[in-house]
Chain A
Amino acid sequence: MADVTFIVDGKTLTAPAGTLLIEACKSHGIEIPAFCYYPGLSLQAACRMCVVRIEKQPKLATACTTTVAEGMNVTTESPEIAQARKATLQLLLGNHPLDCPVCDAGGECELQDMTFKYGAADSFYAEPKNHRDEQKWSPVVYFDRPRCILCYRCVRMCGEGMDIFALGVQNRGSSSVIAPNIPAQLSGVVENGTELAQLDCEQCGMCIDACPVGALTSGTYRYKTRPWEMNHTATVCTHCGDGCKTTLGVRSVSDGSEIVRGDNRDKSGMNGDFLCNKGRYAFDFANNIERLTSPLIRKDGKLTPVSWDEALTFAGNKLRDLRQDRGPNSIGVIGSNRTTNEENYLLQKFARTVIGTNNIDHHRTADFVTLATSLQGATGRFASQHDVEKSPAILLVGGDPTNQAPLTAWNIRTNVRHNNARIYIANHEGIKLRRQAKAFVQVAPFGYGAFIESLKADNDFAKSLHAEEQLVVVVGNELRGGELASLIKALPHAKFALLADYANSRGASDMGLLPDVLPGYQSLAGSTIANEYAAADTPGLDLLAMFDAAAAGNLSALYVVGSNPVKRYGIDAVTLKSTFLIVQDLFLTETAALADVVFPAANLYEKSGSVTNSYGDLQLVSKAADKAGTRSDFELIVRLAGHMGHDLKTLVPFGKGLRSDMGQSRGAQSGEADRHSVWMTANNLEPKTSPFDPFAILDEIQRLVPGYDKLLRLQLLSGNDQHISPSASGLVQITTSRKDLVLPSADTLFTSGSLTRYSPMLQDVQRHQSTEVADHLASAD
């Protein structure tokens, strides 16, 4: 819309016509106080804090509902306005319990801030305040009614934002109250003889985030600490493939530092306002007392704590010996969906160059190889998470983002609400997002092939899709291999994204945790990486084949990092009886329990690096917490290589002069110079001094992995996401017979693979929601 010019506090400003005054002011650095106004949610004009004086209007006007108009003359601060706001605060504080010293929101409370600003602290009411006991609505949501200022943010967040509508406003006048959807007398939940009203919802906690005061508090955080006693680190959530940023509040404890809170207060991530149940609360596995904190070696059939040196020496020697005696191809390596890109890259490089085998794989949750190969050479056809938020049209084929990829679902809903985006859905189930869909096609179970065929036919659904000029196609894990390829072929103008299950599922694929392709889906022979690695050019064993080999007695050793294949794939313990098994994990999982050596590992919240979400959006992972007795997977891989006697400089490019000391005089093109330091110089980077610095390997990733070469360090370090498209051509050709080996994790909003059972919160919430989710208790990754 055309810009209009108007005056605020004597300054001449411009903004597009139709902009709300409160937003126009904000974008010019003029802050107008507000409780009920919340960007992106419907307008309320209820709190009356945003009142301003507009010339020629008889009354003070609410900036939250006024749209800017040409020539408008606005005053946002004056004695009259300050008095109006002060009076409003005084009225609120009359009933508000001044229990700030024990309130979770103390220090982060908008009411406190405004009282501080407008000086309304003097309460002149003689009457007692209306006291009500705090209510527990779910394991994670508590409600303190007297603290509620009735801004209705939570109600709108739940209804408009989440499409759940589990919160309502009941009664009226000063008896008005926010109420959850299950009234006390129907909940069947009794505590201390009182029936409790309950929340039947997705337990996302968005209501808590939206609450400007301490009326809604988090079951996992309440009364634990004060906001200013925590350190806050923004990092990426470990749980699903969407890539939400979660800000972890951490405090020191005797054995490291403990995470006490997760939220997205700074809203700086690609998730904006959003965070789901897992992102907000399910960090608690990290504090679980069952965490492994000492290396273990099997002695007399029992896993026994030993020193790091003993464990590493034992494992290193053993691996070296087995490689020598039985050949590198007798050894297998399995990586993780939750470790960083740097760790994944390092692990496959370890397999390929330290051990010398392509026997490397991971639990695949989407067929990224087909995506990459189908789109190779094309530009701009890999959709990013932002596209889902902005694109005018989205086709969702398979998948159920509401349960599997909550941010994707949020973005789709937001896009519909704000931009009237057109959503098309083809699914074998009537998923919830259907409520937002313009058109829905019911697909028969396993009938996606037929659906793809129907896109070529003359029907309304196909016609509308072909007519969409900017179509983003989000594909669930039902489609892979040939089917996925033909879907991509059928919609040649669209952008694509695959939904995958964990924080770095995409990164695991991109980094080459695959037996038949190198990082960036490069060929085993002939590609730049292949040349540099000088490793075997025959495909290795995939994950299932490794276990087949083990069963046949042909797998001498298996190195498993951050994965629980024994549980996930139902592997019989006997299978591994003649295989030397090294497992690196947080807990004594089913796989770790069979190991000969176990290394206690740090989790994603305890390390630095980067991860790539399902869409290929790469983000920085920052170390928030610390657990004594654990080490990062990165360090463990490097140390293991060291104990195998490997020259670490060839594994991790640290220090000066890696490959040759011919200097740069003969030029980078000669092929003999130190390619790494030439690249670093060209990119104004200093060599890393430690082999444990993930950035040393990131340098190499950037240098060698197509797509990742476009990374901007400054963007990464500022915490911004960057979209990666593995856009190289000449990738491995898929043959129809290629096994995709995708095994969807079947996680829901309240499960996260093997971590589920180590998260008391997830357990609690599952019991709270018992009927719906009980089936999924068993899943593991």
Chain B
Amino acid sequence: MIVGSSITIEIGDRRLLEDASFVVGAGEKVGLVGRNGAGKSSFVSVVIGEPARELRHSGNVAIRGTFGFLPQVPLPRGLGLDPSGFSHVLSGRGLDVLDDAMGKARVQMEKDPSPENIELFSDLEEQFRENGGYEAEATMARIADGLGLRQELLLEEIDKLSGGQRKRLDLVRILFQSPETMILDEPTNHLDMPAKKWLMEELERYPGALLVISHDLSLLDRSISKVLHLADGRLHEFKGTYSSYLIQREESQVRKERVSTLEAREIKRLSTLADSMRGSTVRRARVAKSIDKRVERLESTHTVARRRERVATFKLPVPRRSGGVPISANALGVRYGKLVVLNSVDLSIARGDRVVVIGRNGAGKSSLLRCLAGVQEPSAGEVKLGANVSIGYFAQEHEQIDANLTALENVSDTVLSEESRRRALLGSFGLPAKAAGQLPDTLSGGERAKLGLAMLAAGDANTLLLDEPTNNLDPASITAVAKMLSTWDGTIVVVSHDRAFVNALEPTYCLRLPDEQFTHWRDEYLDEVEAR
């Protein structure tokens, strides 16, 4: 159960939330919605008591009982005693520590079977059993299977897992932990449709309190009992399912707009009437004054309808003409220790091609893009860039963004020399004006993605390498990105699991992993796009 009262959150000179109060009751399933940058993740960070340094906040939040939190961006090393995924998951119930302590106590007991040593071992064994230690592997296997994470990956070191596998591992951990309250930030980001459905069914059965931020809330529609909508610094509460929230919100918006229009019309009418009475007789001047007072009263209680969210439109500059074959790879191989990720990739991408890289999590898609972008040395083979090629790289975890520079400073001034144009560019990608001065770490996941796209737009790239560019973006922005890329004349290589996005992109070629087949695009490959 979560109880929050009078919460105000500010970052820089942006007020994300003002005087908000809410309750997530025991067993209640609550969706938290709002556009990118509205402050959802910041709000959640305050709720769990781990706000970023840059956030200023006031008010009270209390979480009763145990709770688990799934962050939008996974922690780099994990939380287990050793760096394996297995240990990370066990740590959800403290079983990694217990298992280790039990092993030590057993060795001690073997050396000296004193009553104290036996009792210590027995206590630890009992706790291990109580916390489900003996069923841990079976439980973990069931969850991993549902989420489409191969079980052998649980034994791998976390650092060797791909972004998608890492996110799934965190999901396995929190579902294994099964706390009394669960707070999930974009849990479906890296999941394919079967895994999304499985997760939502699992969450439906979950008996505890749930607060979830997701752009896939429609999948959890039946079990959502309340929606908190974060917009314009206010937390609006809607009772009912997600679909009923959408209807209620639209009705409320229409009602407010109508009332606001009627009030504005009345204010205008009265003001005009008062103006016409002034400069005449004393009596008429007195009436005008009383009308003015009425106008003042009306203005002070004037209903303000929330501005409707703008339909986003993003734009890339016209690219310089590159050579006929901007990128080609010859027997490109990538391996991490003994793990062979890419064996021998051969491809030749022509100017204007839109290439989609398809493959399950861990197939080597991100490694390939890193090699093509020149940020990673391949283990074998070579990458050749054609004449006049300028690469624009969008990394999955946004590594291309310098964390020590502000959003505005990250936008290159080589093409846009005037600051006002760079600010306008950020604005055109949906970043609020005040976000320009913020450090990237203080931006939301969606805002960071938009900053990454704006950085591409500010450069003179004619070949884009995009690794999951739509992750963390709201649906309107995803449509805008797809539209922007489909009409762009440059060369694009993209990794994405978003079916609608890939479809809108109208690809020409496809690289299928792990088969390493570079072929013409066919619409039936769309089914493989979603496979994780």
Chain A partners chain B: no
Q: Which residues of B contact A (CB under 8 A)?
A: none
